Structure 1
Amino acid sequence: MDSLFVNSLLEDLKNSDETVREQATKKLWRIWYQQKGIYGLEMIERSQKLLDSGQISKAEAVLTELINEQPDFAEAWNRRAFLYYTTSQYEKSLADCLMAIQINPVHFGALHGMGLSYAALGEYAKAIAAFNRALEIQPYSLVNQKLILECTFRLS
């Protein structure tokens, strides 16, 4: 991964021009998905097709296999976190988000997922902290701003 290019894209996320931000976001997701080449991408796509067709345990098995084979693949952890979140397994989702962030500290998707998991568990202060970390990377993210307001309201 070209760190200068990634750093440039991360800077673009802070640009006032929405088109620049959207392009940078798409490019970062592409880099993250393709981090482990064709095999990693195919496994993630396979798991998504299984998830979309309701074969949740098979999708989980594909992602777990990928994680076991390539434990430094942040997007594999993030995708499994998403699977766990969508099946209301918030503790497991949170653990996988934390692994994705440990591998890739600027993974705004995993930070967002971490915030969603904390909020689902009723840990609103921790959710706010996660959404704020995501906003440090993507300051124009309206969804994270909205979720911070919702969590703040729930705390009061």
Structure 2
Amino acid sequence: MNESDINALLEDLKNPDETVRRQATHQLWRIWFEQKGSAGLEQIRKAEVWLQGGNPKEAEAVLTQLIEDLPDFAEAWNRRAVLYYITEEYDKALADCKQVIELNPNHFGALHGMGLCYAAMGEFTEAIRAFRQALEIQPYSLENQRLILECTSQL
């Protein structure tokens, strides 16, 4: 897909029609996961199997190697951020989310992840800021709207 196709999908995230938004979201995730072809996708899947099997260290090793091999693969960074979030290593997760945004400023998943990390660390103002940035891309996200309200109640 070229940049204009991706921009059209990003615009579709703002469409009032839920079906259009859902399809655009699915397409963007597919593009992000497949950015580096089947080899990159295979490694992400391998890491996911390790993580689902209760082996986060093995998953981390796979993702770290993938990042070393393909440092511009934003989804590899994002998957490792998810792993770090799950293992409650919020500083590491946050650093990886920031790297994702550096590589792909429209990655609403990483912005959401940043918000989750900040909230888990009790930094509610920063969490709200991250969730609002995600809402700029996905304005109909009820989850981010809910999390903003929850974080606001903590201030």
Alignment of structure 1 residues 25-44 onto 2, 5 Å: 25-44=25-44
The root-mean-square deviation of aligned C-alpha atoms, in Å, is 0.5
Cα distance between partner residues in 2 of 1:149 and 1:137: 18
Task: Say whether residues 1:96 and 2:96 are aligned partners.
Answer: yes
Q: CA deviation at 1:75?
A: 0.3
Q: CA deviation at 1:23?
A: 0.1
Gaps of 5+ in 1: none
Cα distance between partner residues in 1 of 2:46 and 2:2: 27
The letter for the 2-side match of 1:150 is E
Normalising by structure 2, report the TM-score: 0.99
1:152 corresponding residue in structure 2 = 152
Structure 1 segments of 4 or more deviating over 2 A?
none
Q: CA deviation at 1:17?
A: 0.1
2:84 corresponding residue in structure 1 = 84
Q: Matched residue of 2:14: which SS?
A: coil
Identity, in percent, stands at: 65
Cα distance between partner residues in 2 of 1:153 and 1:32: 34
Per-residue displacement from partner, 1:89-109 (whole Å, max 9, x unpaired)?
000000000000000000000
The letter for the 2-side match of 1:112 is H
Alignment of structure 1 residues 1-156 onto 2, 5 Å: 1-155=1-155
Q: CA deviation at 1:62?
A: 0.2
Aligned residues: 155
Cα distance between partner residues in 1 of 2:101 and 2:40: 18
Q: Matched residue of 1:20: which SS?
A: helix
Q: Matched residue of 1:60: which SS?
A: helix
Cα distance between partner residues in 2 of 1:133 and 1:2: 24
The letter for the 1-side match of 2:37 is G
Per-residue displacement from partner, 1:32-65 (whole Å, max 9, x unpaired)?
0000000000000000010000011000000000
Q: CA deviation at 1:114?
A: 0.3
The letter for the 1-side match of 2:112 is H
Q: CA deviation at 1:121?
A: 0.4
Cα distance between partner residues in 2 of 1:63 and 1:19: 32
